[in-house]
Amino acid sequence: MADCCTTDGKKNTYDLAVIGAGSAGFSAAITAAEQGASVALIGHGTIGGTCVNVGCVPSKTMIRAAEALHGARAASRFPGLLGEAHVGDWQRLIAAKDDLISTLRQKKYADLLPEYDGITYLEGAARLNGAGVLVEGGPVAADKIIIATGGRPAVPPIPGIETVAYLTSTTLLELEKLPRSLIVIGGGYIGAELAQMMARMGVEVTVICRSRLLPQVEPEVSDALAAAFRAEDITLHCGITYDACREDETGVTVCVSEGGKPVELKAERLLVATGRIPNTETLGLAEAGVAQDGHGAIIVDDRMRTSKPGVYAAGDVTDREQFVYMAAYGAKLAAKNALNGDNLTYDNSAMPWVVFTDPHVAGVGLSEAAAKAVGHEVKTSIVPLDQVPRALAARDTRGLIKLVADAKTDRLLGGQILAPEGADSIQTLAMALKFGVTAKALGETIFPYLTTVEGLKLAAQAFDKDVAKLSCCAG
């Protein structure tokens, strides 16, 4: 790569400019620097992006805290045990969450920059121009560009919502005190996770959604999770339409239509959790010739290329999967392709995903409906957790495992797990899909007894036999 330094040590032209200093941006910058490229990493606002600051890290530590409360209260499922727990100091819990964020932001982002000589960090709002990037109006010349500016919470167009001091997934975790009651708009993974977390913290929670709880998952999984939520006294109103909302001194009122009838729901606070939108408005994409979809997301191909030559994009700003590990993966591919000739392709065929409710919802590959939609003749198996010895020993049989396979070849196509430890079991199925394993082969694989992942073996065997008729280890 050409020498692009002036005598004062500042770059005239970088090999790569990366716009966005979150997980995707850092992944791209580090990947490029490791290949000897000169990189301008352009950040605007708090370094580290969504995941460490307002997303994965704060939400998951609060979810685990809520699990600790629930675990104590649920001890009575074992005969002879009694347990109780409650929030003793909410502000102290929030402070501990904030301390974790600042520690990880420093260690995994800010402190990494000096470790890579090829990365120059620039702070400021960026905008594309014909020759490269403008940062706070000043030009930064670069041979190639990667856009990784992430996203932010979306707000649905409900009449009156602009007059309500609603919460988002960000501001909910910054509350100085717990509300008595909360309405959650949205039954997707963010809404589901945060609704259960708040309920376990002692808040009266109502979830309202236009479809069903977790509409992207298998219907059997959605129904079972909804039952688990109701067992924890979380109120669900699914299949509704939003009519209006308002706020007064008594709290928030959301007016919905349910089954054709108007219903008024009231709570102290309102959480809007209806997805995310990309941060693209100020980038000058239209003028630069970078195509976007109807939601504003940057359209990329399987090489992470945008419609403008030399410009790539990765992470939540794109029309790809909204998971931090896929953002980092896509950004790494973008960096390598930008520097080495576009020879790597994005592969999400064995991408595992997790929703951190309790039970966890985890999946990989095709659902039954998706497999049929692409032309497979499918077969399915469903094993409820009361057939899994681990769940019986734990006296917690909430959940099920569903597998989808090709009926002609027996090759596994996908599966979903609803189980308290499902998040740590799904990778086994991801590996099976990656290497084209059949249901028969998975059912013949040796699994350790009294583990949740053993349920995958039972589900594979359930294609051909009634696993209820097996002895404990006969499979």
193 marked ligand binding residue: yes
121 marked ligand binding residue: no
109 marked ligand binding residue: no
Map 65-118 to HEC letters. HHHHHHHHHHHHHCCCCCCCCCCCCHHHHHHHHHHHHHHHHHHHCHHHHHHCCC
239 marked ligand binding residue: no
Give one DSSP letter per residue of 181-224, joined into a string: EEEEE--SHHHHHHHHHHHHTT-EEEEEESS-SSTTS-HHHHHH
**How far apart are alpha carbons 164 and 242 in whole angstroms?**
15
Q: Which of 144, 121, 168, 452 is nearest to 304 (CA)?
A: 144
Sign of CA dihedral 290, 295, 297, 298: negative
253 phi and psi, to 5 degrees? -120, 130
Question: What residue type is 48 in one-letter code?
Answer: G
Q: Which H or E element spans position 15?
A: strand 13-19
**How far apart are alpha carbons 107 and 101 in whole angstroms?**
10
**How far apart are alpha carbons 241 and 322 in whole angstroms?**
25
187 marked ligand binding residue: yes
275 marked ligand binding residue: yes
443 marked ligand binding residue: no
Query: Residue 50 in 3-state DSSP?
Result: helix
242 marked ligand binding residue: no
189 marked ligand binding residue: yes
Give rounded-to-5 percent helix, strand, coil for the chain.
Answer: 35, 25, 40
Q: Which two structure tokens, joined as six digits, stand for 215?
A: 């509409």
Would you say 214 and 189 are in contact if contact means Cβ atoms under 8 Å apart? yes
Q: Which residues are annotated as a binding site?
A: 60, 186-193, 275, 316
Q: Which residues are annotated as a binding site for NAD(+)?
A: 186-193, 275
Binding-site positions for FAD read 60, 316
